[in-house]
Amino acid sequence: MPLSDAKIRNLKSKSKPYKVSDFDGLFVLVKVSGSKSWRFKYRVDGKEKLIVFGDYPAVSLSKARELRDAARTNLANGLDPSELKQEEKLRRAEASGQTFEKIGAAFLAKQHKEGKSKATLDKTAYHLKLANRDFGKKAITAITAPMILRTLRKVEVKGNYETAHRLRARIGSVFRYAVASGLAETDPTYALRDALIRPTRQHRAAITDPIAFGALLREIDVFEGQVTTRIALQLLALLAQRPGELRHAKWGEFDETERVWAIPAGKMKMRRDHFVPLADQAIKLLDELRPLTGESEYLFPSLRSWHRPMSENTMNAALRRMGYSGDEMTAHGFRATFSTLANESGLWNPDATERALAHEERNEVRRAYARGAHWEERVRLSDWWAGYVDELKAS
């Protein structure tokens, strides 16, 4: 028997939801809370499907019947009402700017405000560019795990397994930002955790044999390329900091009177200020460098513009010119050399060595303590290391 408004109003909630039919597949679902929801049941290719029209009385009886009749007309024309409703929802999402590209841009802006490093921001922008090529214009709710996987496979097929994993993580970050913002319900990248080829972790090549390291130091001393490149490698060997931190070093960060290089948190991987003791040998190299680049804010400006730092490939390219392949030594490898030889000496507290490298302490209590600890020992360690470097060169 068809429903009436009076009958619908008199429907009471029960301990379980129940259905009351109208006709031609339309029914009202009475929930335990007492709310009443219009549903339309139909079949496509023998499969039962359901579409929700909304709650009564916001959607009246006559309106619900009108929506049912429109759905039946679409069925007669070979169109699935649920798919049509989803497509309309996606069109509205795209029109309102809820696309992956727009939300990705908002996520990147959030990282800017959080003070993320330039390297992190550049990587985020690069990964978003890769994703936007394939589905940036789509509503974020329309993007599925298989769709994302097709994008990841394009990177993976080139052998860039690490990039594929990082791209998946970055896309996931955008989705989680969308979920937190109420613009999406799930993160489809979660289902892809085991879908990609796992990259083989390779440590950056480093020379850790003292005799071989001494030979490298002598090669650097007689390097016939740019003088600034030679000094950069010499300082890298003495200071054992990350190549990017040295490339972006500015004269204003160095206090030769206090004999310290103060690296601001914005340049550090762990986002904390870091202080590096300067031994006599480091001060001497700075004095040699200042007449060459002292008019730039950077210790090692680019050859093309003094307003930009040296290229990230410069120091590795110099090592290749000296005959050291990427499997033998890298600019980043000087850190591993320092860590290995300093620890093997048995002279220094391992915590002081770790602090010299600005490594993250996982234990929060130890990390809080380590911020001010070991400075005096690190100063002695710096002087010892500089002297040891001289001994290796002379041996």
Residue 284 appears among annotated catalytic residues: no
Per-residue pLDDT band for 269 (boundaries 50, 70, 90) equals low
Mean pLDDT calculated for residue range 97-111 = 91
**What CA–CA distance (Å, rounded) separates 18 from 37?**
11
Residue 242 appears among annotated catalytic residues: yes
Per-residue pLDDT band for 133 (boundaries 50, 70, 90) equals very high
Q: Of these residues, 176, 259, 332, 393, which one is catalytic? A: 332
**What CA–CA distance (Å, rounded) separates 108 from 120?**
10
- Can you give the pLDDT at residue 360? 57
Mean pLDDT of the chain: 88
**What CA–CA distance (Å, rounded) separates 378 from 381?**
5
CA nearest neighbour of 316 among 330, 305, 302, 303 = 330
Q: Of these residues, 31, 49, 176, 359, which one is catalytic? A: 359
Q: Of these residues, 269, 290, 308, 393, which one is catalytic? A: 269
**What CA–CA distance (Å, rounded) separates 362 from 352?**
15
- Can you give the pLDDT at residue 120? 82
With 0-12 CB in 10 A as exposed, 13-18 as middle and 19+ as buried, what is 221?
exposed
Q: Of these residues, 14, 137, 369, 380, which one is catalytic? A: 369
Residue 359 appears among annotated catalytic residues: yes
Q: What percent of the chain has pLDDT over 90?
A: 61
- Can you give the pLDDT at residue 201? 58
Per-residue pLDDT band for 272 (boundaries 50, 70, 90) equals confident
Residue 332 appears among annotated catalytic residues: yes
Q: Of these residues, 102, 335, 355, 374, which one is catalytic? A: 335
Instruction: Tell me the pLDDT tens digit for each residue of 138-170.
Output: 888 889 999 999 999 999 998 888 899 999 999
**What CA–CA distance (Å, rounded) separates 60 from 80?**
23
Least confident of 113-117, 334-338, 350-354: 113-117
